Structures are given as structure tokens and as C-alpha cells.
Amino acid sequence: MDDFKPQIVAFCCTNCASSAAKVSHGMKKALPDNVKIIQVPCTGRIETLHLLKPFEEGADGVYVAGCQADSCQYIGGITKAAKRVAQVKGILEGLSIEPERIDVFHLSAGKGQEFVEVADRMVNTVKGLGPVLTAPNRN
Amino acid sequence: MIVAESKPIKELLEMVKGFKKILVVGCKGCVTVCNVGGAKEVAILASTIRISGKKEGLDLVVGEHTLERQCDPEYIDELKDIIGDYDAVISIACGVGPQFISERYPATKVFPGVNTKFMGGAVEHGVWSERCAGCGTCVVHLFGGLCPIARCSKSLLNGPCGGSSNGKCEISSDVECIWDTIVLKMMEQDRLDELMEFRPPKSWTTARDGGPRKMIREELVK
Ligand code: SF4
Ligand code: SF4
């Protein structure tokens, strides 16, 4: 399992997570190259289908990185995204796929280090689970 | 609208186990409005089935199609050129849909993707509530425009039972006692005396109890 490099898709809101990404870039904190970033104006726009499609296309994990719940510019974007992530966790469970393969993280705009930490954390979690194809059947 | 909810994915996958080509058919009517069976939900279910296929190492073909309605034969006809390409069809319309598809395409194996719940409406975003039990002879005007048949747990017609408490029904504190609401409304409209009139037992022959129902409008029949 050691050489398994999980493919991860991260949906990030332009306001918070992406500015954190810029800061991390400035700090020369490298984001793992197996994390593919998709920027969205607000995480509230991310629909259930958007979260499922990466799994359909072969991703091993997906996460949403957005604002703190009380600092979303569009009021409730990240809260909506968190509910959809919870819905997809339920769908994955129904398929006997570990729900830990999808998650949501609340970041602060200036904290580049946090942005990289979250990516690393997700890579490690999914690495521990292995590829979706060999996910153990759980009842 | 008719309100439905998705069947658990595990149950659905068990139903279509062994089928390699599956068509998911949605409906743009009620089930689109209650976010359970429209084009969006067709895409979500199809994607979910594909992911399960990937996980199990199965080579599944999952098609998607959403009809204007599944309760009119002319729209069901629209499937005629594609339905033959599939071994199984999952309809995510209300219970009418899978039956209309089964009747029109006798060779096709059809599965219901949703559980049809009730006739009602959205009381807030994401919350639906029952309003009508389809009794066939509407009497809501006698009760301040509110239906005790669909909304009282015992379908009482002559006032609340002894279990009504602080506006809640005795079956659960989550259920409104509609009789409490009816009485308050009639008081507000200064019509409380109308509730004193005895309502004899309703004839249920016009409801489902009278057997499967059919309606014929001669002026519309070709
Ligand atoms: S009285 Fe009958 S038709 Fe009218 S709302 Fe109630 S159940 Fe429906
Ligand atoms: S408490 Fe109210 S709603 Fe419940 S059964 Fe009695 S009258 Fe009907």
C-alpha cells in the first residue's frame, strides 16, 4: 500500500481557501501534487453531483475547503456545502465505501499553512484507506 | 404535489443486482419539485450506480433520461427508441411512473427508485407536509379550509379526541393537532357555531376504500 498515491480533488472557494493557497505559495509550502484544486466562487455552488463525479472518474478522495461558517461572503455557502458533503457521505456508506473519503474544512483567508495541512491530512487519511476499488466490504 | 423520497441506495442496488445496462428515468413533474426524481436526481443516481460498478469491478452502462411526465402515455412513448438498449429501468417518478413504463413496454424489467409518500406541499425549503388523502369528496370548507381527514391522525370529523395537548397530537409532539388549529381558526373567523353541527360518518366509497378509481370525462374522450 506504501506506493499508493491517492488522487484527491479539492473544491476551494475563491475568497478563503484560494487566498490561503496563495499565501502558502508565497511561503513556499508545497501542496501535494496529487491534490487537484477546483476553484469555485462560493462553496455554496457545489452540488451533490459535483462531489460524486470525481469518484466516478476514479478519484480516491474529495474535499471542500471554504470559509469559516460565520465568514462566508454569501452568508451560508460553506454551511450548504457541508450539508451536501454529509449527503455524499451517506451515499458512499450505502455503497460500502468509507465516508472518510469526503470531507469539508473551514479555513481562514490568510492561513496558507492550514491550507497545506488540510491537503496533507486528507492525503494521509485516504492513503490509509487505499484505493476505492479495494475498499473492504462493510455491512 | 405528490411527495416522494429516494429509496436507500443499498436496497436499490440489491434490486438491480446482475443487470449490466440500467436506464434511470426521471420525471419533470412533482418529483422534480420535491427534489427526488428530476434530471438532477437522475444524474446523481446514475453517478452513484456507476461508482458502485467501479468499486465492484463491474462494467455497468448507466443511461439517463428525464421525461416531461411519466403519467401520460405520449411522454412514455419517448423511450421507445432507447429502452431496448437496457436490461433494467429504474423509474424515479412517483409510483405511477414505473407502472406506466411497465404497461407500455411489457418486456422491460422496471424498478421503482423512490418511495411515494403523500399528497402535500412544501412548508419550508426542504420540508414537505401532507395535506390531502384523496378522499374523493372534498369537505375542507366545513373545517375552516383545513382537512381533518388527511391531517388528523384519526381523521375525526366532529372535534378533537382527548389526546390533543397544547396544539400537538397525541401520537407525537412533532405532529400538529389539526383540530386545535381548526378550532382556533373558526374562533378567529367567528364561526365556531358551525362546528357544533354533527357530521355523520363520511362515505369512503369515493376514497381508495371503494376500490381502484377511474375518472372518465366524456367531453375529453376521443
Ligand atoms: S377532504 Fe378529502 S379531498 Fe379534501 S383535502 Fe381532505 S382528503 Fe383531500
Ligand atoms: S390529537 Fe388531534 S390530530 Fe391527533 S388524533 Fe386527536 S384530534 Fe386528531
Candidates B55, B59, B62, B64: best to mutate against A (most CBs of A within 10 A) is: B55
Pair A85, A75: CB distance under 8 Å: no
User: pLDDT tens digits, residue range B42-90?
Assistant: 999 999 999 999 999 999 999 999 999 999 999 999 999 999 999 999 9
A52 reaches B (C-beta below 8 A)? yes
Pair A100, A129: CB distance under 8 Å: yes
Verify whether the Cβ–Cβ distance A94 to B9 is below 8 Å: yes
Confidence of residue A20 (pLDDT cuts 50, 70, 90): low
Residue A29 scores a pLDDT above 80:
no
Measured from the alpha carbon of residue B137, the closest ligand is 1
A11 reaches B (C-beta below 8 A)? no
Q: Rounded CA gap, B222 and B73, in Å?
A: 15
Whether domain B2-118 has CATH 3.40.50.2300: the reply is yes
**C-beta of B133 in contact with ligand 1 (< 6 A):** yes
The pTM assigned to this predicted structure is: 0.91
Ligand 2 center to B129 CA (angstroms): 16
Domain spans of chain A?
8-131
Q: What is the pLDDT of residue A139?
A: 37
pLDDT in tens, chain B (222 residues): 999 999 999 999 999 999 999 999 999 999 999 999 999 999 999 999 999 999 999 999 999 999 999 999 999 999 999 999 999 999 999 999 999 999 999 999 999 999 999 999 999 999 999 999 999 999 999 999 999 999 999 999 999 999 999 999 999 999 999 999 999 999 999 999 999 999 999 999 999 999 999 999 999 998
pLDDT cut 70: percent of chain B above it: 100
Q: What is the pLDDT of residue B165?
A: 96
Q: Is the ipTM of this complex over 0.90?
A: no
Residue A136 scores a pLDDT above 70:
no
Distance from CA of A55 to the nearest CA of B (A): 6
Residue A22 scores a pLDDT above 90:
no
Q: What is the pLDDT of residue A19?
A: 67
Residue A26 scores a pLDDT above 80:
no
Pair B110, B98: CB distance under 8 Å: yes
* A8-131: CATH architecture: 3-Layer(aba) Sandwich (3.40)
Q: What is the pLDDT of residue A137?
A: 46
The three-point CA angle B171-B175-B179 to 5° equals 90
* Adjacency order of strands within the sheet including B21-27: B61-67, B21-27, B88-91, B109-112
Q: What is the pLDDT of residue A51?
A: 98
What residues contact A32, with CB distance under 8 A and at least 6 apart?
Answer: A8, A119, A120, A123
Partner residue facing A49 (CB), from B10, B43, B55: B43
User: pLDDT tens digits, residue range A75-131?
Assistant: 788 899 999 999 999 999 999 999 999 999 988 766 777 888 899 999 999 999 999
Q: Which residues of A touch B55 (CB under 8 A)?
A: 95-97, 132-133, 135
Please spell the DSSP secondary structure of B111-164, one letter per residue. EE-EEEEEEEEEEETTEEEEEE---SS--GGGGTT--HHHHSTT--SSS--TT-
Residue to mutate (ligand 2; options B129, B171, B174; most atoms within 8 A of CB): B171
Measure CA A98 to chain center.
14
Measure CA A83 to chain center.
14
Verify whether the Cβ–Cβ distance B48 to A95 is below 8 Å: yes
Dihedral sign, Cα of residue A5, residue A7, residue A13, residue A18: positive
Task: Extract the runs of DSSP E, i.e. beta strands, from chain B.
Answer: 2-6, 21-27, 61-67, 88-91, 109-112, 114-124, 127-132, 168-169, 172-176
Residue A138 scores a pLDDT above 50:
no
Q: Which residues of B touch A95 (CB under 8 A)?
A: 9, 13, 48, 51-52, 55
Domain spans of chain B?
2-118, 133-209
**C-beta of B157 in contact with ligand 1 (< 6 A):** no
A97 reaches B (C-beta below 8 A)? yes
Q: What is the pLDDT of residue A67?
A: 81
Task: Extract the runs of DSSP E, i.e. beta strands, from A51-117.
Answer: 61-66, 102-106
- Three-state DSSP at A131 gives coil
Q: What is the pLDDT of residue A107?
A: 82
Phi, psi of A47 (to 5 degrees): -100, 165
